[in-house]
Amino acid sequence: MKTLLLFIATAFAEIIGCYLPYLWLRKGAGAWLLLPAAASLVLFVWLLSLHPTASGRVYAAYGGVYVSIAIGWLWLVDAVKPTRWDLLGALLCLAGMAVIMFSPRPA
């Protein structure tokens, strides 16, 4: 559970760090948004470093959580209702994350 919560926090930090510059570049928001965006991306990198397993495994599994959080962001922030295919894809990504992170490992 701790791993999943850490992945969720990491995904939000990355999405916010990318969404704020998007608002500046595409939606005409103020350039001041680049400061919290940079801080959010620093937080994202730091959170990734907190995982106790090999970095390649963490990055691969994190991708599944990121996809799922991004689909939720699409719905809650961009007000675009995900299709059933979006939801199926997110569930498949989460299943892949679970296999990568929680499968038995040789000692």
Please determine, for residue 3, whether its predicted confidence score (pLDDT) is greater than 90: no
Please determine, for residue 50, whether its predicted confidence score (pLDDT) is greater than 80: yes
The whole domain housing 33 covers: 2-102
What confidence score (pLDDT) does residue 55 get? 77
What confidence score (pLDDT) does residue 100 get? 87
Pairwise pLDDT comparison (3 vs 98), residue with the higher score: 98
- pLDDT band of residue 2 (cuts 50, 70, 90) is confident
Query: 90-105 pLDDT, tens per residue?
Result: 999 999 988 988 888 8
Residue 89: partners with Cβ closer than 8 Å, 6 or more residues away: 67, 71
- Domain-located, residue 19: yes
Looking at residue 10, its amino acid is T
Please determine, for residue 107, whether its predicted confidence score (pLDDT) is greater than 80: no
Query: 62-94 pLDDT, tens per residue?
Result: 888 999 999 999 999 999 999 999 999 999 999
Please state the domain count of the chain.
Answer: 1
- Domain-located, residue 90: yes
Q: How many CB atoms lie within 10 A of CB 58?
A: 21
Query: Exposed, middle or buried: residue 19 (CB in 10 Å: 0-12, 13-18, 19+)?
Result: middle
d(CA 64, CA 57): 12
- Domain-located, residue 107: no
Task: Find the mean pLDDT for residues 21-36.
Answer: 95
Axis-axis angle for helices 34-49, 2-27 (nearest 10): 160
Q: pTM above the 0.85 mark? A: no
- Domain-located, residue 59: yes
